[in-house]
Each structure stands twice: as structure tokens, then as C-alpha cells.
Structure 1
Amino acid sequence: MRASRMRATRFRAVIAAGAVATLMIGLAGCADSDRDNGGGEGSSSGGTFIFAGAGDPKNFDPIFNDDGESFRPIRQMYDTLVTHKPGTAELVGGLAESWENDATGKVWTFKLRQNVKFHDGTPLDAAAVCANFDRWYTMKGEAAQSQMIYYQDVFGGFEGSPDAVYDNCKAQDASTAVVTMKKYKGAFPGAFALTAFSIVSPEAVKKYDGNTVTQNGDSFAYSAFANEHPTGTGAFTYGGWNKATGEITLTKNPDYWGDKAKVDKMIIKIIKDENTRKQELRAGTVQAIDFPAPADRKALAGEGYKVLDRPAFNILYLGINQKNPKLRDLRVRQAIAYALNRAQLVQTKGPGGAAVADQFLPDTVLGYAPDVQKYEYNVDKAKQLLSEAGATGLTLNFYYPTEVTRPYMPNPQEIFTVLANDLQAAGIKINGVPRPWNGGFKDDVQQFGKQDLHILGWTGDYNDPGNFVGTFFGRAKPEFGDDAMTEMFSAIGKADATVDEAGKKAAFEQVNRDLATKWLPAVPIWHAPPALATAKNVEGLVPSPLTAETFNSVSLTK
């Protein structure tokens, strides 16, 4: 994979008025070829592949997760209806051999693969697919209020909500599932490839009480299905999570419908400290690490380790919570933007190839507007705006995560320190609030909105502007704190619902201009290409621009 940014392949449903646009992508033979990395079952290397994870997963139920550390093991155990060609953002068949949509973009028909079974031996059929869609839609109470961020972003709401996009799913026959939406949404078909929408065994959900979630103070507790019995159709089966050693064990699924895993076992060893991950790679106790520090990439490559760059398909931003009345003043938010020396941050803390971001999506995505207002570093301008707003001496609580490294955020502590120093130089007092990623930071920020400022980001799941700006700003969220920003929500919703591609492009370009000038709910910081590093004997690991690697292609040479 080259180090420079790859222009991700655009994909979206093309719907012409009065005509049926059919997306027969990923037919069985083609999809099998796409997944074949030159080995096949006969070339299996055996052995155990140990990958160093950067943080604890929350649980293993796809629908209740939205972060990479949870999705990494989930992605090995489950499959989605649609997936991506390895190393790209191009859609190909997953559990569905093919799919098509009608002229309205509201009815989606999936032709499923034959003879696929869940890990518990039950069949993958249209009824099971529909049971998954219905499960998500009918979530209630604490389950619906927990971390179902992807569902709410893509499908708008649950049963009974006026914003709900999903209508129904019917099993036309055992191998044909027909999903009907209440309205067109630009997220499809790309969203069908989201790991959160992996297809799980309905029988296992029922047996292990998978729909039960309980809230305990500021956190949520999940079911035996989510924690102990994850059951999908993937290339690996669940072998347990030893929390004392931090090891998640995944075992080769000999009955996998696609290319079977080349190793017998995979272990995800959770090592939260970046330097320790590097030391264990050098010691040979792990064979791969994610997100090596920018300074370590060249050193590791010089020592013979393989450093695999992913294209930069992500964004880091500084979130601003308008629950604080002072932050509702646009001048204060603009002052924050002017106070940040983002170019220097990129030079000193960014990985090679990082670039200052001026909007909330990469320039490879439809709707990128090259003429947005850019906030060049200007501390005097920041002080002037604060004075005009009567916010001189402002004090803000700045939350940042600990014990984790994210693709867009290689060292949260260092990034926080630089940004906090910039803000303080402009006269804003900063109280730093470090919180652990899961069970702390994410709950405080995304569920309860306790912060004034926070750093967070996103790696795109598919190449569509709604997956970036729609995910962040398409509806009211505690992390940005003002559900009165209805003009912003409405503009993003209208852009996402625009069927004509030229019209959609123009609408999202205007959204991005307005995000920079009228609304400014956050400040974009950078786009950064994250990397993987592996031992010399690791073959077949294909970096994904979506950081969505699957490991059935990995083999170990002697």
C-alpha cells in the first residue's frame, strides 16, 4: 500500500427517474475472486497470529458498538450483507451475493449466499436477515438509549419515531430478503457494509438474552450474548476473553463460507501503552501492532519490520459543547478556531502524510468544498473575538481519552497538551479532564455531554458525505449540546435525501461552507494516515482505508 493518499472509489446508488437502477455488484464468482489473496485453504500456514490491540472492546454485539477496538474482533466473527474489496472502499458482495434497489431507492432486494451457517449451526437465510433488521428497529428502553449510535445515525430512529427510515423486511423466499425503507437515504448501499450492522444469529440472541441492556449510573451493562456468546458467520469463532491477561482468543472457523483463515488461531492482546506495544513487537511476543507512533515508523522499517500505511480517510476534530451558554456565541467558537496552531500540530505530532483539515471530510468525498472559510492561526484575532463576546477569562473543561490510540489520534495526551496550550495563550483557561476511553470518556462525552471541549474523530465507513458530516452533525447529540441547531440538522437531512448526484454534491458543498461560517459546532484539526507494523514473517495483511481489516488472509512464514 503506497503511503500517499489513495483516492477512494466513490460508490452510491444511481437512481434515474422512472427507471430501475440495479447494482448487481459482487456476484458469487467475482466476490470469491476478490477475497482470494493468492492462497486458498490448501496454503494455510497454521499457528497463532497475535495482534496487539490498543484498548479494551466494549462488548462483542455489533449493534451496540461504534469504536475500532470493539469492531476489530467483531469483524473477524461476523459478516455483513455487503462488504468492501480488500484494501479499498469499493463495495462487493458479503453475505449477499448481489443486491438491487428500485427506482425510488427505498426498496432493497438481497440475494443471499447458499449454505451459510452461523457458528451455532443455524442457517443464514432471509428470515434470519429480517430478524436482524427487526431487532434493531424494535429496540426499546435502555437498549435503545445505549451506544446504538450507528443505528440512529443511519436509520434515524426506532419503532414509533417519526424520523425512522426503516419500514419492514420480508423473506421473499429462503435466499431473498427484501428491505423497505420509508424514504430514500444516501447512506445506502454503503451503510449495509457497516460492521455495526453485521448479521448475528437470531437463535443465539434469543438464547442469551441479547436485547437486554441495563444502565448502571453513567454506564451500561450488556447481555451474555454480547459478552460471552457472540455468534456470527465469520472466519473466526469466539474463544474467550481473558481479562487478566488482556487476551481475546479467536479460533479458525473450518466451515466458513469464504476464504478460510490461514492461521489456526488469532489472539488480540490488549496493550494500552504505545511504547509497550512496540517493545512486544520487537520481542516477538506479538506479530503486529496498530497505529505505531509517527517517530517509530521509520525506525521500525529500518529494522526490517513491515510498515503498512493506510490512506488518510479520517478526521480529528475539537468538539465544542454548546450546552455551555458561553459557547453558544459564534464569536467564542470562532475564537477557539483562530487560537489553534493546527499547522504546527501537524508538523510536531502528526504522522507522516498528515494534513491540516479545513472541513469534516477528506477531499476524496463528494461534497468537499474547496472554498470554505479557513481559520488560519491568529491569536490576536482570537483575543479580539473573546473580548467582543464578553468572554474574557473564560474557563473550559477539556475532556480527552487515555489508555487508547485511535487512527486519527495517535497520542491523545500530547494532542490535548498542544491544543490546551494554544487556547491558554489566547486567554482561555483550560481544565484538563483525562478519562479512560470505554466506561469513561465516551460515556461522559457522547452520552451525557459533561465536557465543554473534547477531541474525537472518525474514520470513514464508506465514501459518502453523510457518513462524515451527517454522522457528526445530522441530529442533536449530547457531545455538541444544542438541540436548537435545527437549521443545520435540516440542511444536512435535505442534502442526504437528494437523489440526483449533482444536486447532492452542491447541497453538501453548501453544508460544508455553512459548517465553517454559520454553525461551527467543532473545529476540524487534521487528516492523518494511520499505519500498521508487522513482523517479517507476517504475510497477506491488507491495510484498509477504512481501518476495517479482516485477518483470514494472514499467514505466518517459517
Structure 2
Amino acid sequence: MVHSRTTQRRRAVILGLVGVVSLSLSACAQSQRGTDNSGSGAVGGTLTFGAAGAPKLFDPFYATDGETFRISRQIFEGLVGFKPGTAEAEPRLAERWEQSPDGKTWTFSLREGVKFHDGTDFNAEAVCFNFNRWYSQTGAGQSEAVSQYWTDNFGGFSDGAKPSLFKSCTVKDAKTAVVELTDTTSKFPDVLGLPSFSMQSPTALQKYDANNVQAQGDSFAFPEYATKYPTGTGPFKFVKYDTANNTVELERYNDYAGEKAKLDKLIFKIIPDETARKQALQSGDIDGYDFPAPADWAQLEKDGFNVAVRPAFNLFYVGLNQRNNAALRDLRVRQAIMYGIDREKLVKSQLPENAKVADEFLPDTVDGYTPDVQKYTYDPEKAKALLAEAGVSNLQLNCYWPSEVTRPYMPNPKDLYGAIAADLDKIGVKCNAVTKPWNGGYIEDLDQGKTDLFLFGWTGDYNVADNFLGQFFGSPTNRINTGASPWGQQLSDDLHAASIEPDKARRIEMYKDINKRIMSEYLPAVPISHSPPALVFNSKVKGVVPSPLTDEKFAPVSKG
């Protein structure tokens, strides 16, 4: 999903992101927002963080949700990581890597002295065990709803039913693993920084039968490893998930090979309601929480809390499923919906300060973005005319919005849905509201194509066009079901061709051309906005570095 080669322009972008972070975490003379949290602080104690939703499970390979990944980032590490506060890849469990001239063979030199939480060694055998585990999924484990990050990034599995980007992993010696790919790709090795591709203990994976995923109707049952025994190399290790009290408890891993965590314990308390999270912070029940409502930022600062603002690296969009409703297969209908949503008003009234309207499906910091796309301003009369031209009247859509979740791009789904539905009602499009918990049916219904219109979005994994466009439209069977249109397969093919194009300049031009066609000829969904989300902590919490990838690590964090 992501390109790996860093250009001078991208370096400038990343430096810019660092500058934003530095600005947001200093300048306390102007505002409490982003007060410098880099002080060393006290060692020990427990930090309790308010999470917006429950984790799906604790095996990051099978995860797709941010709440699972937030916890995974504390327990696990990958061969690749990201520099704090940026989207730039850097070595983590691999000290360095080399690629062959054709880009298909990658040699990873591994850190020595690293142990998993069960005391077993991290080495090249463990690396290849993990790669082969991912590649050899069978049955329910191959479902896109279960192994989505593998299927999105690597394709098929060892049964050969579908092509795979992965070919093999070979142990050269204890500290050297060689990974072979079937094709050149710009994704590698940055993609290995995703939580899904974290290194997990082969011993624990085998002991607790980690691959034993079973389909149960429209959902899946996961083995005990995924719910009770996640085992990584990170600075914190898993203790328990107390479902009665809605808490996940981690503790410092004292044999961690890097700088030890300062906290004794890290607790994630699940509080789905944002107002309840704010009240818990104010009462001292928690030390911080994610995604404070933008309208609350100023008051939280006045009350002495630190609001740490992340750089915007996301997209909020309205998905239009073309499979279920024939009317949505008509470009004029999709354009009418685009013209019928007052995105400018939505951004100003519902989203954080410095959020901006999205004119396409890429943030403007990503190579491949182009301002030369067809623009859509709010024009309800034009929307009505397009619907009439298409012969569509009294259009009714099953419109989905998620509950029990707050996403960086979607701080209050209910209010965002209400504003969008009200706008569409004015042009004669009626929304029949369907709401389900994010991890309690919403994602499953999207994956199964049950929607007509839905709220969704994406926070970038790293700074490359394919990570956005490939995620949205890289497969004709995506959540938007572009395969229901005659151009769906062509769009997928064009995105693949751009992703594997070895010439950087040519690849960028290919993405620019694709962006133009997406916004003029295809319009498979409605891009709404890019938002700078935030975290908030009490004044005793030090060491938080806000990440554009929501990749915050708690190991350096302390309570003064």
C-alpha cells in the first residue's frame, strides 16, 4: 500500500510535519495546546488512558481497527518502525536492510539480544516463521475481513489461489533474514512498519494455536492467543483484558532490549462516549484520552489540560456502494450527491480548527496529489438537475454511520451523519439511517456490501499515494464495490501499474492522471475533509509525541 523510496520533496514534507509537531507541543506562552511534553518526568506509576472503543482482539495480524492497533503498538514491534511524530520509516527490529537491483530480494540485518515476552529469542527464524504464518493462512484466516492488511498489501496465500507479492523468507544466519518478492513494489519495506506485520513469538503462536480462526455466521471466532496471550518484543507486555470493567492492562517488560518504559503499568479504559471520557479526565479517573471533541479544545486548555494536536494525515469520505442500488451506478447521481453536501459548512461546524475540505482522495502532502482535478462546490440546484437528468426521483438509500467509535477523521459520527443526511434531504435523497457499533457489526456490514451510503475514512500508514488510493479503490471488490461499474477493474489495474512503476517521476505522473479521472469520470465516493485530530492529557503526563499516523508510543511517557 505504500511506497518506500524517499525523495527530497518527501523529506521536506516530513520535516514540515515535524515542524507542526514541534509547534503544537511548544509555544506555551500562546496556548496550553501542545505544551512541551518532552520532560523526563518521574519513573513508575500507572497511566490510565481513555479509549473510544473496545479492541477487536490482540493479535495485530487479524486486526483492522485503531483501538487494537493502539494497544498492539505498545506490545509489539516490527522490522520497520516510524520516526516519532512523522510518517518516515526507520529501522526497528531490523538494524538495516539492503535490496537487490531489481527490488525483489531484501536482506534484513536484525538487532541482537532481543527477546519475546515469553523469554524466547527474536532471530531470523522468528522472522521467517512470522512471514510464513501470514502467507500460509487457510480457511477463515484468508477472509479479507480477517487478514485484510495481508490481502491489501501482499495479495494471495500459499495455496496459490490468488497471486501473492510474497515469495519466500530464508534464514541466512541467526541475525540475517532474506525476503523474496514476486515483483518490484514501492510498498516495501515500509509496509512492515504496520502493526499487522509485527513480530510475534513463534513459541506462543504455536502453543495457543494462533491460526485457528473459525467463521461463525457473519463473524469470526479467534483462538485464545488473540484474546489472552499476545506475545511480542515491545516495552509493555499484556496482562489481561477485564471485560467486566472494560479495561486492558499492560505492564512494563523489564527485559526489553531498548530503553525501558517509564511507567509500571499502562491501562486502557474503554469509554465509548466522548463526553464521558472528558468527565473521566476532569474527575481524575483517567489521565488522558484520544479524539477530544474539537469544540472542547479551548475549554480543556483553560482548565489546565494539555491538548496535543496531530498533523492531519487522513481523509473522511462518504462511500457509495454501487452494487446494491442501481441508481448509484449512474455518474450523474454520484455527482448530485457530491454537489448536494455542503462540505465547507460541515468542516467549519463539525470538524477541528485547521481542518479543510478535500478536493480529492489524497492529502496535499502526498506525492501524486494534484490541484488540477474537477472541483465540486456546494450547489443543491445543480444536484437536483443532475438527478432529474438521470431520471431519478425520491431516491432512498440505506445510510450507515458507526456508533461506539471516534476516528481521527470522524470525531463525532452521529453529528456528521446528521448534517450530511439533512443536506441530502434538501435535494430529494432520503437516508434511511442504519447505525451499528464499529466493532459490533458496522465493519462487517461494510465488508459484506450491505450498505448504500456509509461514513468512512482512512488515516495514512505512511506517506505514499498507494496507501490511500490503493486502499480505497485497489480492488474491484472493495467496500465501495467499484467492480459494479464498467471502469472498476480498469481503475484497479491502473493503480497496480502505478504502484509497481520503478521510475519515481513517472509513478507520480501516473497517480496525478488517476486522480483526475477519479474526480471527473469515476467519482466512486465523496471526499469530505482532512482533519487534525488531537489527544488530551492532564498536566502531570510528560513525553507524549503526537503522530500523524496515530502511532503514539507510551514507553517514553511518565507522570510527573
| TM-score, L = length of structure 1 | 0.92
Contact between 1:445 and 1:478, CA under 8 Å: does it hold in 2?
Answer: no
Contact between 1:402 and 1:437, CA under 8 Å: does it hold in 2?
Answer: yes
Question: For residue 458 of structure 2, what is the aligned residue in structure 1?
Answer: 458
Question: For residue 18 of structure 1, what is the aligned residue in structure 2?
Answer: none
Question: For residue 351 of structure 1, what is the aligned residue in structure 2?
Answer: 352
1:125-160 deviations in whole A, cap 9, x for unaligned? 101101111111111111111322111111122220
1:322-370 deviations in whole A, cap 9, x for unaligned? 1122111111111111111000000100111100001111100010011
Contact between 1:339 and 1:378, CA under 8 Å: does it hold in 2?
Answer: yes
Question: Partners of 1:441 and 1:47 in 2: how far apart?
Answer: 37
Question: Partners of 1:186 and 1:520 in 2: how far apart?
Answer: 26
Deviation at 1:476, TM superposition (A): 2.3
Contact between 1:237 and 1:252, CA under 8 Å: does it hold in 2?
Answer: yes
1:486 pairs with one of 489, 503, 508: 489
1:409-444 deviations in whole A, cap 9, x for unaligned? 000000000001111111011101011000210000
1:248-270 deviations in whole A, cap 9, x for unaligned? 00000001111110010000000
Question: For residue 424 of structure 2, what is the aligned residue in structure 1?
Answer: 423
SS state at 1:97 partner: strand
Contact between 1:81 and 1:96, CA under 8 Å: does it hold in 2?
Answer: yes
Contact between 1:278 and 1:292, CA under 8 Å: does it hold in 2?
Answer: yes
Question: For residue 541 of structure 1, what is the aligned residue in structure 2?
Answer: 544
Question: Partners of 2:405 and 2:526 in 1: how far apart?
Answer: 22
Counterpart residue identity of residue 396, structure 1: L
Question: Partners of 1:476 and 1:241 in 2: how far apart?
Answer: 37
Question: For residue 182 of structure 1, what is the aligned residue in structure 2?
Answer: 182
Question: For residue 15 of structure 2, what is the aligned residue in structure 1?
Answer: none
Contact between 2:75 and 2:237, CA under 8 Å: does it hold in 1?
Answer: yes
Question: Partners of 2:334 and 2:287 in 1: how far apart?
Answer: 44
Asked whether 1:516 is paired with 2:519, we answer yes
Question: Partners of 1:147 and 1:540 in 2: how far apart?
Answer: 34
Deviation at 1:472, TM superposition (A): 1.0
Question: Compared with structure 1, are the counterparts of its residues 38 and 538 closer, same or farther at alpha carbon in structure 2 (3 Å cutoff)?
Answer: closer
User: Which runs of 5 or more residues in structure 2 are unaligned?
Assistant: 8-36
Contact between 1:11 and 1:91, CA under 8 Å: does it hold in 2?
Answer: no
Question: Partners of 1:116 and 1:459 in 2: how far apart?
Answer: 30
Deviation at 1:167, TM superposition (A): 0.4
Identity of aligned residues (%): 48
Instruction: Quote the RMSD (CA, aligned, Å).
Output: 1.5
Question: Partners of 2:134 and 2:525 in 1: how far apart?
Answer: 30
Counterpart residue identity of residue 333, structure 2: V
Question: For residue 152 of structure 1, what is the aligned residue in structure 2?
Answer: 151
Question: For residue 298 of structure 1, what is the aligned residue in structure 2?
Answer: 298
User: Which runs of 5 or more residues in structure 1 are unaligned?
Assistant: 1-9, 16-36
1:74-113 deviations in whole A, cap 9, x for unaligned? 1110001110111111222110011121111111111100
SS state at 1:99 partner: strand
SS state at 1:483 partner: helix
Question: Compared with structure 1, are the counterparts of its residues 11 and 155 closer, same or farther at alpha carbon in structure 2 (3 Å cutoff)?
Answer: closer
Question: For residue 28 of structure 1, what is the aligned residue in structure 2?
Answer: none
Deviation at 1:39, TM superposition (A): 8.0
Deviation at 1:380, TM superposition (A): 1.0
Question: Partners of 1:353 and 1:38 in 2: how far apart?
Answer: 24
Deviation at 1:460, TM superposition (A): 0.5
Question: Partners of 2:420 and 2:266 in 1: how far apart?
Answer: 38
SS state at 1:490 partner: helix
1:45-73 deviations in whole A, cap 9, x for unaligned? 10000000000110000111122111011
Question: Partners of 2:162 and 2:253 in 1: how far apart?
Answer: 42
Asked whether 1:45 is paired with 2:43, we answer yes
Deviation at 1:521, TM superposition (A): 1.2
Contact between 2:340 and 2:427, CA under 8 Å: does it hold in 1?
Answer: yes
| 1:385-464 paired onto structure 2 within 5 Å | 385-446=386-447, 448-464=448-464
Question: For residue 125 of structure 1, what is the aligned residue in structure 2?
Answer: 123
| 1:129-144 paired onto structure 2 within 5 Å | 129-144=127-142
2:103 pairs with one of 98, 102, 105: 105
Contact between 1:408 and 1:527, CA under 8 Å: does it hold in 2?
Answer: yes
Question: Partners of 1:76 and 1:461 in 2: how far apart?
Answer: 17
SS state at 1:319 partner: strand
SS state at 2:98 partner: strand
SS state at 2:95 partner: strand
SS state at 2:483 partner: coil
Deviation at 1:13, TM superposition (A): 2.6
Deviation at 1:389, TM superposition (A): 1.3
Contact between 1:76 and 1:235, CA under 8 Å: does it hold in 2?
Answer: yes
Segment drifting more, 402-411 vs 379-388: 379-388
Question: Partners of 1:69 and 1:494 in 2: how far apart?
Answer: 33
Question: For residue 19 of structure 1, what is the aligned residue in structure 2?
Answer: none
Contact between 1:331 and 1:385, CA under 8 Å: does it hold in 2?
Answer: yes
Asked whether 1:12 is paired with 2:10, we answer no
Question: Compared with structure 1, are the counterparts of its residues 359 and 449 closer, same or farther at alpha carbon in structure 2 (3 Å cutoff)?
Answer: same
SS state at 1:398 partner: strand
1:66 pairs with one of 59, 64, 67: 64
Contact between 1:307 and 1:531, CA under 8 Å: does it hold in 2?
Answer: yes
Question: Compared with structure 1, are the counterparts of its residues 141 and 461 closer, same or farther at alpha carbon in structure 2 (3 Å cutoff)?
Answer: same
Contact between 1:11 and 1:90, CA under 8 Å: does it hold in 2?
Answer: no
Question: For residue 207 of structure 2, what is the aligned residue in structure 1?
Answer: 207
1:479-516 deviations in whole A, cap 9, x for unaligned? 21242511100110011111111001100111111111
Question: Partners of 1:136 and 1:521 in 2: how far apart?
Answer: 31
Question: For residue 247 of structure 1, what is the aligned residue in structure 2?
Answer: 247
Asked whether 1:469 is paired with 2:472, we answer no
Question: Partners of 2:539 and 2:526 in 1: how far apart?
Answer: 40
SS state at 1:63 partner: helix
Question: Partners of 2:150 and 2:205 in 1: how far apart?
Answer: 18
Deviation at 1:288, TM superposition (A): 0.7
Question: Partners of 2:269 and 2:476 in 1: how far apart?
Answer: 36
Question: Partners of 1:327 and 1:472 in 2: how far apart?
Answer: 17
SS state at 2:134 partner: helix
Counterpart residue identity of residue 222, structure 1: F
Deviation at 1:274, TM superposition (A): 0.2
Counterpart residue identity of residue 275, structure 1: T
Deviation at 1:44, TM superposition (A): 5.6
| 1:339-378 paired onto structure 2 within 5 Å | 339-378=340-379
Question: Partners of 2:364 and 2:6 in 1: how far apart?
Answer: 21
| TM-score, L = length of structure 2 | 0.92
Q: Number of residues paired by the alignment? A: 524
Contact between 1:395 and 1:431, CA under 8 Å: does it hold in 2?
Answer: yes
Deviation at 1:392, TM superposition (A): 1.1
| 1:318-333 paired onto structure 2 within 5 Å | 318-323=318-323, 324-333=325-334
Contact between 2:366 and 2:463, CA under 8 Å: does it hold in 1?
Answer: yes
Contact between 1:11 and 1:190, CA under 8 Å: does it hold in 2?
Answer: yes
1:376-414 deviations in whole A, cap 9, x for unaligned? 111111111111112111110001100111111000000
Contact between 2:472 and 2:478, CA under 8 Å: does it hold in 1?
Answer: no
Deviation at 1:478, TM superposition (A): 4.8
Contact between 1:13 and 1:105, CA under 8 Å: does it hold in 2?
Answer: no
| 1:163-312 paired onto structure 2 within 5 Å | 163-312=163-312
